[in-house]
Amino acid sequence: MLKKEARKITGGLSKPSKMPGPAYNLPATSCQTGAKLAKVPGTVCYGCYALKGRYRFRNVRLALARRLESLGHPQWVTAMTILIKGEPWFRWHDSGDLQSVHHLKQIFEVCNNTPETMHWLPTREARYLPLNHDSIPKNLTIRMSSHKINQAPVKSWPWTSTVQSPGAMRSSHVQDSRQCPASKQGNQCKSCRACWDRSVSNITYAKH
């Protein structure tokens, strides 16, 4: 399969300026938990960046819809593997989230097919995550996100992320926790790869 066909099947990858590599995004409106939280003040999803700005442009909305529809394509795993292969770093869902257990299993397949790539998947969909952590590909870090601003990390998962308001930014009580440096370096990861690193238990992001 050529990359041209792979892009047609999957809708193509996104290229967030912040990230050290490509990503894959879905409509934020399709987030099963996040779409509900987006209506609740005080939650991380309230005022979601992926529901405003350029995400409201018609061409962007159509592209996101195509990617969501592509999840059911029988060659989605093969096509994603072709697009990601050779990339050192990859993020799943710079907008959007897991849709089902089947969706997660497909991601597992892609990760297993691209062992040279480090994958990061932030999510709020705890119900889709496996009870056996050993079933997760070693090159994939899944971070469970806390729902509310200034809320402690969830205790049900070993890799987490939290969001704190600027006035409350402080070190987490979680061992091996790290504050995201992007807000102090032009909103870019630069040399930081903590989100992809399983030895970092929790990442704290500044609310923006």
Cβ–Cβ under 8 Å, residues 30 and 68? yes
Q: Per-residue pLDDT for the chain (208 aa), expressed as one digit of tens each?
A: 999 999 999 999 999 888 999 999 999 899 999 999 999 999 999 888 777 777 777 888 888 999 999 999 999 999 999 999 999 999 999 999 999 999 999 999 999 999 999 999 999 999 999 989 999 999 999 999 999 999 999 999 999 999 998 766 554 455 578 999 998 898 899 999 999 999 999 999 988 6
pLDDT of residue 166: 75
Of 33, 95, 42, 48, nearest to 68 by C-alpha is 95
pLDDT of residue 56: 74
Q: Quick check: helix, strand or coil at residue 122?
A: strand
Positive or negative, the CA dihedral 89, 95, 96, 97 is positive
24: CB partners within 8 A, 6+ apart = 10, 13, 14, 67, 80, 90, 91, 92, 93, 94
pLDDT of residue 48: 84
pLDDT of residue 205: 92
Kindly tell me the number of DSSP H helices and DSSP E strands found in the chain: 5, 7
> pTM for the complete prediction?
0.93
Tokens describing residue 121: 């998947």
140: CB partners within 8 A, 6+ apart = 107, 108, 111, 119, 120, 121
